[in-house]
Amino acid sequence: MHSQFLNFRKPVAHFSAAAASSVLHTWTALGRAGKMALHCLLATVASGVLAAETATLSVQFDKPGARINSAMWGVFFEDINFGADGGLYAELVKNRSFEFPDPYMGWRILAPPNTVSIDTSRPASSAQPNFIQVPVGATLLNEGFRGIGVRKGETYVFSVDARARGRRPALRIELINTNGHSLGTARIRGIGRDWKRHTAQLRASATQPHARLAVIVEGSGSVDLDMISLFPRNTWKNRPGGLRADMVQMLADLEPGFLRFPGGCIVEGRYLTNRYQWKNTVGHIAERVPIINRWNDEFARRGRGAADYYQSFGLGFFEYFQLAEDIGAEPMPILNCGMACQFNSSELVPLNELDPYIQDALDLIEFANGPASTRWGALRAKMGHPEPFHMKLLGIGNEQWGPQYIERYGRFAEVLKAKHPEVQLIAAAGPDPAGERFNFLWGKLRELKADIVDEHFYRPPDWFFSNAYRYDDYDRLGPEVFAGEYASHTRERASNLEAALSEAAVMTGFERNADVVRMAAYAPLFAHVDAWQWRPDLIYVDNLNVLATPSYHVQKLFSRNRGDMVLPIKSSTAREERFYASATRDMTTDEVILKVVNATTNAVDAMVEINGADMVATGKLTLLTSSRLTDENTFAHPEKVAPVEDKLDVFSPTFSHSFPPRSVSVLRIPARVTQQ
Ligand code: AHR
């Protein structure tokens, strides 16, 4: 018996203890019209005034419907908005290996003219051949990713590949604040004539979000330098060269069921040459050749260009699988299907040249799941993970459309299904949630008996509100739905309460239809406040802090209050009324979980019926609300729109509850059926 049931009470009504049992008997005997009338009366008694809005929410506790996928609520990570380089990947030095097309990008060189050069002779890494040759007396300054964030008292690990040209060069490393003052220093000596990795640690004497790194060459002679790197020592799980701990914590706190990666349009590339190729992102860090990030100039004409945006792949496919494992999420890699972005070049790989792309998929499965005796399994083991990553999902393409996609998807599916029936494939439904392309793809994917179809919707709040019932009439016999990318776009593209409420409304629809909607993820996940290309986003970061948006809180509320079974629920309100609800049952804790979105400007006083339960107990209420739809969280006021938890006194399976205006409420109520 769970301890919460020690609190169980036999049904009594809290509005009038004396009349409790008779009212409850009457309640069970009343018809629907009678219940509504009584409900109005109860609301009046409870509030003393006639409530502005009333409703009945009727949950069928004893008739659970579909089982909910335990991995239903997940996250989608793409390197957009400086999400990886400059974000989750904790490297603080930009262009550390001088491989950007402008090899000096991110660096300022203080040295006499023509004394510093980029060289490629006998490099430290043949994959990244550029290095810098610097004379004694010169200073290299790196600006980081919109500055370097350092925290007082924390340790930073500097490392560099170095080779002496003269007799005794040495390096002084400094963290410098915006006024040019040192925040910490370290020295590297003993640089020999052969390439060698040197490390040093610096402790920051002050907190500074926009520090710079200085590398000063001292001693005599000159020095060749490559892979100049600085990481906080405090990374996620303290892994050297790892991920930003506070950003991963934000993901872990969501308890995501899956982690989709790496895109998004990044998978496709503007051209096939710069598509995402997973094999270029694994193995030794020095072998991972940086490429231009496709978001570098995508929105340049809208003033959101980022000429310094490249992908170092320091967060590559190994780190991705490891991250998914760390946060308990199922990996969901997405691969290029032989098509470049159809909003850009629309380049196509001819069908008779598709085999290497399909082979990449087979090899990825081997890298994730194969024994260490296989080629790719051996690489995974060498990188530190002999055990498989248990990948069971794989996306073929991102936002592709047209017959070209169906042809290519078909080729992938034929081979992958034959060789790896244990891996479920995710097919694309294009960039829009309706229309000709969408209908064409769905028709074909149904014929092909696709496992899962990925729908994307970036739409205004009104669309979200009116699509809360979208899946009620979906075909139950066809492929399952993955709502793989969605976000409510207000006119200002604000991450505000209105956006969050409208997303929550649609999410009640996902949940009520969990038999067809198998998984869902908001997009994009992260954005650097000084370097974003796309908004709104779920989590904003600067160089030192993270910020949860109202949408983040909604995602967290749904994910952490998932439940195992859908419970049928009926609301007396009309669909247009912007009052939405879903219910689930947690089979482990024996709770009803009720999620209610009141997107109106009035409180809705509801009579909640937990039909079929004859014992309930004190539960928990989590409420997300704020006074204006336009309210947002900011770094100055991060908790303006944040959930608040409270005890929920429930004394009867039928009880009244007032849902505040502009709110998402999650009610967790221990409930039982004792008389079957
Ligand atoms: O989430 C941002 C972008 O939106 C994704 O890369 C793409 O799939 C969609 O168009």
| Each residue's pLDDT tens digit, 129-188 | 999 999 999 999 999 999 999 999 999 999 999 999 977 899 999 999 999 999 999 999
Q: Is it the case that residue 441 has pLDDT exceeding 80?
A: yes
pLDDT score of 425: 98
CA–CA distances in Å: residue 380 to residues 290, 323, 376, 465 = 21, 14, 6, 45
Model confidence, pTM: 0.93
Q: Is the pLDDT of residue 338 over 50?
A: yes
**Which of 14-28, 211-225, 645-659 bottoms out in mean pLDDT, i.e. has the lowest?**
14-28
Homologous superfamily assigned to 2-68+564-672: Golgi alpha-mannosidase II (2.60.40.1180)
Residue 461 burial by CB count (10 A; 0-12/13-18/19+): exposed, middle or buried?
A: buried
H-helix or E-strand spanning residue 396: strand 393-396
Helices (H) and strands (E) in the chain, counts: 12, 35
Residue 324 pLDDT exceeds 60: yes
H helix or E strand, kind and range, residue 375: helix 375-382
pLDDT tens, position by position, 622-642: 999 999 999 999 999 999 999
Look at ligand 1, atom 7, and give the residue with the nearest C-alpha: 264
CB environment 174-185: b (16+ within 10 A), e (fewer): bbbbeeeeebbb
230-246 pLDDT tens trace: 999 999 999 999 999 99
The residue whose CA is least distant from atom 2 of ligand 1 is 524
Q: What is the pLDDT of residues 89-135, one digit of tens each?
A: 999 999 999 999 999 999 999 999 999 999 999 999 999 999 999 99
**How far apart are the CA of 306 and the centre of ligand 1, in A?**
17
Measured by CA distance, the residue closest to atom 3 of ligand 1 is: 264
Ligand 1 atom 9, closest CA: 264
Q: Which residue has the higher pLDDT, 422 or 20?
A: 422
Q: Where are the alpha helices (DSSP H) in 118-263?
A: 245-253
Ligand 1 pocket residue status of 79, Cβ below 6 Å: no
pLDDT above 50: residue 32? no
Residue among 396, 398, 525 whose CB has most ligand 1 atoms within 8 A, to mutate = 398
Tell me, letter by letter, the H, E, C secondary structure of 63-92.
CCCCECCCCCECEECCCCCCCCECCCECCC
Render the burial of 201-224: b for 16+ CB within 10 Å, e for the rest: ebbbbeebbbbbbbbbbbbeebbb
**Cβ burial, residue 663 (10 Å; 0-12/13-18/19+):** buried
Q: 524 C-alpha to center of ligand 1: Å?
A: 7
Residue 423, CA distances (Å) to 309, 320, 446, 451 in order = 34, 18, 18, 10
Query: What CATH number belongs to 107-234?
Result: 2.60.120.260
Strand, coil or helix: what is 594?
strand
Q: What is the pLDDT of residue 48?
A: 30
Cβ(563) – ligand 1 distance below 6 Å: no
> Is the confidence at residue 494, as pLDDT, over 90?
yes
Closest residue CA from atom 5 of ligand 1? 264
Per-residue pLDDT at 548 exceeds 60: yes
Residue 673 pLDDT: 84
Helix (H, G, I), strand (E, B) or coil at 189: coil
Q: How far is the CA of 458 from the centre of ligand 1 (A)?
A: 9
Q: Where are the alpha helices (DSSP H) in 605-670?
A: none
Residue whose CA is at the smallest distance from ligand 1 atom 8: 264
Cβ atoms 431, 456 nearer than 8 A: yes
pLDDT of amino acid 45: 36
Q: Is the CB of 431 under 6 A from ligand 1?
A: yes
Using most ligand atoms within 8 A of CB, pick from 458, 525, 537 the residue to mutate for ligand 1: 458
Mean pLDDT in residue range 375-389: 98
Burial class of 98 by CB neighbour count within 10 A (0 to 12, 13 to 18, 19+): buried
Is residue 298 in contact with ligand 1, taking CB distance under 6 Å?
no
In the chain, where the domains are located: 2-68+564-672, 73-89+237-559, 107-234
Q: Give residue 522 CA to ligand 1 midpoint distance, Å.
A: 11
CA angle, 84 then 427 then 378, to 5°:
55
What burial letters (b/e) apply to 421-435, b meaning 16+ CB within 10 Å?
eebbbbbbbbbbbee
Given a cut of 60, is residue 386 above it in pLDDT?
yes
CATH number for the 73-89+237-559 domain, one of 3.40.50.2000, 3.20.20.80, 3.40.50.1820, 3.30.479.30? Answer: 3.20.20.80
Residue 166's pLDDT is: 76
Average pLDDT over residues 323-344: 98
- Which DSSP string do the residues of 433-467 spell out, in sequence order? SSSHHHHHHHHHHHHTT-SEEEEEEEE-HHHHHHT
Give the model confidence (pLDDT) of 346-380 as tens digits: 999 999 999 999 999 999 999 999 999 999 999 99
- HEC string of 232-273 equals ECCEHHHCCCCEEHHHHHHHHHCCCCEEEECCCHHHHCCCHH
SS3 314: coil
Find out whether the beta carbon of 262 lies less than 6 Å from any atom of ligand 1. no
**Whether the CB of 144 sits within 6 Å of ligand 1:** no
Looking at residue 472, what DSSP letter applies?
A: G
DSSP secondary-structure letter at 310?
A: E
Structure-block tokens of residue 523: 């997009």
Average pLDDT on 575-583 reads: 96
Q: Using CA of residue 33, residue 35, residue 41, residue 43, what is the dihedral sign?
A: negative
Find the catalytic residue in 78, 99, 174, 399: 399
Mean pLDDT over each residue of the chain, to the nearest integer: 92
Q: Is the pLDDT of residue 651 over 60?
A: yes
Lowest mean pLDDT among 4-18, 323-337, 536-550: 4-18
pLDDT of res. 675: 63
Pocket of ligand 1 contains residue 534 by CB under 6 Å:
yes
**Ligand 1 centroid distance, CA of 400 (Å):** 11
Nearest CA to ligand 1 atom 4: 264
Cβ–ligand 1 contact at 524 (below 6 Å): yes
Question: Residue 538 and residue 553: Cα distance in Å, rounded?
Answer: 9
CA dist., res. 673 & res. 676, Å (int): 7
Peptide bond into 524 cis (omega under 30): yes
Burial 124-149 (b: 16+ CB within 10 A, else e): bbeebbbbbbbbbebbbbbbbbbbbb
Tell me which of 73-77, 260-264, 613-617, 637-641 is least confident.
Answer: 613-617
Pocket test for ligand 1, best of 485, 489, 522, 535 (most atoms within 8 A of CB): 485
pLDDT (mean) for 33-55: 46
In angstroms, rounded to a whole number, what is the distance separating the alpha carbons of residues 292 and 311?
6
- pLDDT (0 to 100) of residue 52: 52
CB-ligand 1 contact for 398 (6 Å cutoff): yes
pLDDT grade for 2, boundaries at 50, 70 and 90: very low
Does the CB atom of residue 334 touch ligand 1 within 6 A? Answer: no
Residue 167 pLDDT? 78
Q: What are 674's strand-pairing partners?
A: none
Ligand 1: centre distance to CA 409 (Å): 19
pLDDT in tens, 263-300: 999 999 999 999 999 999 999 999 999 999 999 999 99
Query: How far is the centre of ligand 1, averaged over its atoms, from the C-alpha of 637 (Å)?
Result: 29
* pLDDT tens, position by position, 443-455: 999 999 999 999 9
Cα 481 to Cα 470: distance, rounded to the nearest angstrom: 12
Mean pLDDT of 474-502: 97
| Residue 381 to residue 353: CA distance in whole angstroms | 31
Is-catalytic flag, 414? no
pLDDT for 534 equals 97
Provide mean pLDDT across the span 320-345: 98
Could you tell me if the CB of 310 is within 6 A of ligand 1?
no
pLDDT for residue 51 is more than 80: no
Ligand 1 centre and the CA of 236: distance in Å? Answer: 27
Distance 438 CA to ligand 1 centre (A): 16
Tokens 């934000």 appear where? Answer: 250
Whether residue 520 contacts residue 71, with contact meaning beta carbons closer than 8 Å, is answered with no
Minimum-distance ligand 1 atom for the alpha carbon of 431? 10
- Ligand 1 atom showing the smallest separation from residue 398 Cα: 8
Q: Which residues contact 534 (CB under 8 A, 6 or more apart)?
A: 80, 81, 295, 299, 304, 524, 527
Whether 661 shows a pLDDT value over 60: the answer reads: yes
